[in-house]
Every structure is written in C-alpha cells, then in structure tokens.
C-alpha cells in the first residue's frame, strides 16, 4: 500500500493509535517503539511501508530518549562505535529491503520478535568474548543490529543480548540502545531518500504521527515510576507474541 491520500481515514486513525501505543511503551520501559509499531503496522501494510511510516516518529522518539535521563554523553562516549557500525549495517539492510520483495520480511520480523521474547533465556548462555574483546564485539553486534534494523526495523533482540553480556546499567542501556536506533533511522532515511521513497508527501503524512508518538513518550515517561515494570513487560511480551503469530499466519495464508 502506498502512503498516499488513498489511505482511508479509519486506517490513518489506526496508524495514529499504533504509534501512540508504541510511544507509550517506549516511554514507560525506555525502548520498544519500532518493536511494537512495526509488526502492528505490518498488519495493514507491507514491512517496507511500515518502516517508511515509522522513520520520522522513531527518530523523534530516539532523540528525546537519548537526552532524557542525564549523563548521556558518558554512555555515548563509551559506546559510540556501536552506533557507527549500526549506521553502516543499517545502510546494508535498508538497501536489501528497497531492492527486494518486502513480503518475506514479515517472517524475518516475526523471527526477531521471537528472538526478543527469548532474549532473557538466551542471556543465560554467557559469551565471555563480548566483554573481553569490546572492539570486535561492537563491530559484530553493531553491524548485525544495523542490518536487522534496516531490513525489518527491529534491532532490540540483538542489542539486548549485547547489553546483557556487557552488564550495562538500565540508564546507560536505554541511551545506548536509542543511539543505535537513531543511527538505524539515519541510514534508512539516506537509503529511502536515494531510492526516491522518502518524499515530501511522506514527511507531511508522518509529521503529525511523530507528534503523536512524542506526546505518548512523555506520558509514558511520567508513568514509568507508577507502573510495575515486570507486569507491564509481561503484558507487552504476550501482545508481541500474538502479533508475531499473526504475521506468520498472514505470510503463509497470503502465499
């Protein structure tokens, strides 16, 4: 589905609700905007269009999240190569999805959601080399996260495994994650603009959605201390599990 005036008002309202929910989740737990928004949008459009719709809103959310929490320069100062590698990987992944049929990426997206849901279990398998060889681990995880973000809009599962191995504190983890998210968005913007897909029409369409996402982000940040984190994460994980199953079903029933 192209992002044009042919989209019905009902679908546009659904987009707005999805991005509001994703912003609320991101504000409450510090991450998750593209992880929530992309698969839900992919229920209405292909993954490539879902990524295009979330470009501007995700960038706005990432910038606000990096600044929030203080001492962000310390976190970015230590892990900036991870962001650079994410940018490079993002260009590669974005190029793949621009030149390929986007339909199979619903399966890739579902697989990444399942990986995210299993990341707590995966974290029990220690990879000592990650902390011992910081340069190489940032290269490997940064490129992998960037390719994943460029092709499916999701890099959280890979970054979570990296953060678990490095033992990052929550605030630093959120800031580093959002730095990588932002790098992924920049790479996607470069590739989509070069391909003629990031048009003024798309920017006009998604600017109000970015405002909606930022509003939800601020509400989520205010709610962060009032909501039980474990309960909230459990609910989100069950929702994501259901969405992943739906994406798999959509792909096979459409085939």
* pLDDT of residue 218 exceeding 90: yes
Residue-wise pLDDT tens digits, 61-86: 988 887 776 666 777 788 899 999 99
Res 186 pLDDT > 60: yes
Q: Point out the least confidently predicted range of 30-44, 181-195, 205-219.
A: 30-44
Between 9 and 13, the more confident residue is 13
pLDDT attached to residue 232: 63
| Mean pLDDT to the nearest integer, 28-47 | 85
Between CA 95 and CA 147 the distance in angstroms is 9
Higher-confidence position of 196 and 101: 196
Q: Which residue has the higher pLDDT, 36 or 237?
A: 36
Rounded mean pLDDT, 184-209? 91
pLDDT band for position 159 (50/70/90)?
confident
Question: So what's the pLDDT on residue 92?
Answer: 94
pLDDT at 4: 52
Q: Report the mean per-residue pLDDT for the chain.
A: 84
- Is the per-residue pLDDT at 216 higher than 90? yes
* Res 9: pLDDT: 84
Higher pLDDT, 173 or 82: 82
Query: What's residue 91's pLDDT?
Result: 95
What are the residue ranges spanned by the domains of the chain?
9-254
**Per-residue pLDDT, 1:** 47
Largest CA distance in the chain: 53
**pLDDT for position 132:** 87
What mean pLDDT is predicted for residues 76-105? 89
Of 35, 12, 65, 75, nearest in space to 204 by CA = 12
Condensed to tens digits (0 to 9), the pLDDT of residues 130-139 reads 888 999 999 9
Asked whether the predicted pLDDT for residue 15 surpasses 90, the reply is yes
Q: What's the CA gap between 47 and 7, in Å, rounded?
A: 16
d(CA 231, CA 132): 34
Q: Higher-confidence residue: 171 or 43?
A: 43
């Amino acid at each position: 589905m192209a992002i044009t005036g042919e989209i019905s008002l009902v679908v546009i309202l659904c987009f707005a609700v999805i991005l509001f929910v994703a912003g609320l989740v991101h504000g409450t737990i510090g991450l998750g905007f593209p992880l929530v928004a992309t698969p839900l949008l992919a229920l209405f459009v292909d993954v490539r269009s879902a990524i295009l719709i979330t470009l501007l809103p995700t960038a706005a959310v990432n910038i606000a999240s990096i600044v929030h929490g203080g001492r962000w320069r310390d976190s970015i100062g230590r892990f900036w190569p991870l962001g650079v590698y994410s940018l490079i990987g993002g260009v590669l992944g974005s190029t793949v999805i621009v030149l390929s049929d986007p339909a199979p990426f619903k399966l890739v997206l579902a697989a990444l959601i399942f990986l995210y849901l299993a990341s707590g279990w995966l974290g029990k398998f220690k990879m000592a080399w990650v902390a011992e060889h910081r340069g190489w681990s940032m290269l490997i995880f940064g490129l992998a996260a960037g390719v994943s973000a460029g092709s499916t809009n999701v890099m959280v599962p890979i970054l979570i495994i990296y953060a678990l191995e490095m033992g990052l504190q929550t605030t630093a983890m959120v800031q580093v994650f959002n730095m990588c998210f932002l790098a992924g968005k920049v790479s996607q913007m470069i590739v989509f603009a070069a391909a003629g897909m990031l048009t003024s029409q798309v920017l006009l369409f998604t600017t109000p959605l970015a405002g909606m996402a930022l509003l939800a982000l601020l509400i989520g940040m205010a709610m962060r201390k009032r909501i039980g984190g474990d309960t909230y994460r459990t609910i989100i994980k069950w929702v994501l599990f259901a969405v992943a199953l739906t994406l798999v079903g959509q792909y096979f029933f459409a085939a």
